[in-house]
Amino acid sequence: MRPELHSRAVYCVNLNSNKKLFQRDSGVLVHPTSLANEYGIGDFGPCVHRWLEILAEHHQNLWQILPLNPAGYGDSPYQGLSAFAANAVFLSPEHLFEIGLISGSFLESMRLPPSASVDYPEVYQNKLKLGLEAQSNFARLQSGHWLREQYEAFLECESEWLDDFAIYYALKARFDRVAWTDWPEAFRDRDPAALDAALKQCACDIERAKLEQFFLRLQWDQIRATAKRLGIRIIGDLPIFVAHDSVDVWCTRELFRLNADGSASVMAGVPPDYFSKTGQLWGNPLYNWGRHREDGFSWWRRRLRRILSWVDVVRIDHFRGFEAFWEVPGDAETASGGSWVKAPGREVFEAFVEDHGLPLPVIAEDLGVITPEVIALRDDFQLPGIRVLQFAFGTDPMRETFLPESYDGNCVAYTGTHDNDTVVGWFNSQPGAGSTRNSTEIEAERAETLAYFGGDGSKIHESFIHSLYTSGSSAAIIPVQDILGLGSEARMNTPGVSSGSWRWRLDSTEALQGAMRALGALTQSTERGLCSRAVEPNNY
């Protein structure tokens, strides 16, 4: 079947609309990388379509994912090499076989042994081989072939970011994948003569980068069509900061606070918190907000338009950074010596409303040090915040707001997020394992949890899920690991740990059958998800 290329349509609502973003919706958080298939990593192929069918069969109408951008340091989707491109690890060999760009024997050669963990070096090599084969066969297509016509339209449509990304991608390969700040000076500083030479010398890699982005878009547009047919909205994720080693910083250095050699003069992070006694030093460069203001925040507007052409709703990670951000000196070794600096978030969101109307298809990830000013920014723009049930038990100063009885009709409730341990892992946790809690605090937290839910804790994940679905939250979203009742071995990410995260994946979908049936029954009894669609659905 010949797919049609997605247009640049923006999902808008009327400024005077009384619609809410969510109306007793429910769904599951799982990144495509974690889905089961035979190619070492979940991708944009049949495994996603199967997953969407599973969600719909069990009455869920939301699927939440992590960022789809090319992962950078530590394979983290939150350290993307581009704010606009997609990650080539998502390329589906099955789709490329279907449209005739690889052979059956080549498809067979792409299979990898089943595993509950992504082996990224192996996957990267496999997907590089796939991209090269598809590029070679694409070059043999005759003029006028529908794929060639679609590709030419794609190049024209995406030129504002694609050309820069492709040459950055090629130069990364040429310079052994080191950061752009460590490239030869002429390339680091984008000398026109050096870049002109690279266009010729790296032409093959540049073309492959563009083709991979084209294939990824074709594949994702089929996923969007399946989701729409099934009544499922996809929630994407937009990290507030971009990676220092990214095409965005390399090409638009004036938008970031950098030294003359391209190094960061100041860095992003958060102060000491639940996860780290010295804070979290993320290393992302901070924005030169004055330059963003000068052109009406056009980079931010393009960025939101871009992600909303891929997903229906977007969660903005570290939303509080739009009100004030934790600024750390560029040479600091920890985040503890930083300070709060005001940001022009209200101006940015006024620009977003100009483009998209109200309600904005945006979730505010409002965790961390939340002040009245952050709450006002969130509420003035009618953004749903999030509530994480794990934080209701313990010493969090806002713990009462995380209890289900406090949820209002404009919040999205989670058992945990990608940064948390699983519910079962958290309940059985030990001191020092991914948090700053000591043994006394853990025992007190566990006792408080048992007192709240009753029972012996053997089905603590089911208690968490039930409480969210019966709450007044406008949406409830459960990480798939919590649906399955898995322990810490299934944790997606441990903040502050430089390696080993982002690798967990499902062995198969068979283990999900019983747990999803139970979730579907709960969804029906609480009139959530697709069961709530007697109310007019939200379409953005």
Point out the residues that are catalytic. 317, 365, 419
CA neighbours closer than 13 Å in the CB half-sphere of residue 294: 7
Coil, helix or strand for 327?
strand
C-alpha to C-alpha distances, 482 to 280, 323, 330, 425, 512, nearest whole angstrom: 25, 32, 38, 10, 11
Asked if 481 and 490 touch (Cβ cutoff 8 Å), the reply is yes
d(CA 307, CA 235): 10
- Residue 168 CA, distance from chain mean position: 22
- Yes or no: say if 84 and 303 are a contact pair by the CB < 8 Å rule: yes
SS3 state of residue 421: coil
- Residue 479: partners with Cβ closer than 8 Å, 6 or more residues away: 28, 29, 30, 414, 415, 416, 417, 418, 422, 492
Type of residue numbered 451: A
The dihedrals phi and psi of 390, each to the nearest 5 degrees, come to: -55, -30
Least Cα distance to 516 among 487, 478, 490, 488 occurs for 478
Q: Which residues contact 325 (CB under 8 A, 6 or more apart)?
A: 268, 286, 340, 341, 343
Residue 498 phi/psi, 5-degree rounding, is -80, -15
Inter-residue contact 401 to 465 (CB < 8 Å) = no
Find where tokens 């069969």 sit: 57
- What residues pair up with 413 in beta bridges, in sequence order? 387, 476
Tokens of 45: 């192929």
Here the tokens at position 330 are: 């560029």
459: amino acid identity, one letter: K
DSSP assignment of 341-409 equals EE--HHHHHHHHHHHH-SS-SEEE---SS--HHHHHHHHHTT--EEEEGGGGSSS-TTGGGGSGGG--T
**Nearest residue to 313 (alpha-carbon basis) of 56, 66, 64:** 64
One-letter amino acid at 518 equals A
CA atoms within a 13 Å half-sphere pointing along the CA-CB vector of 397: 6
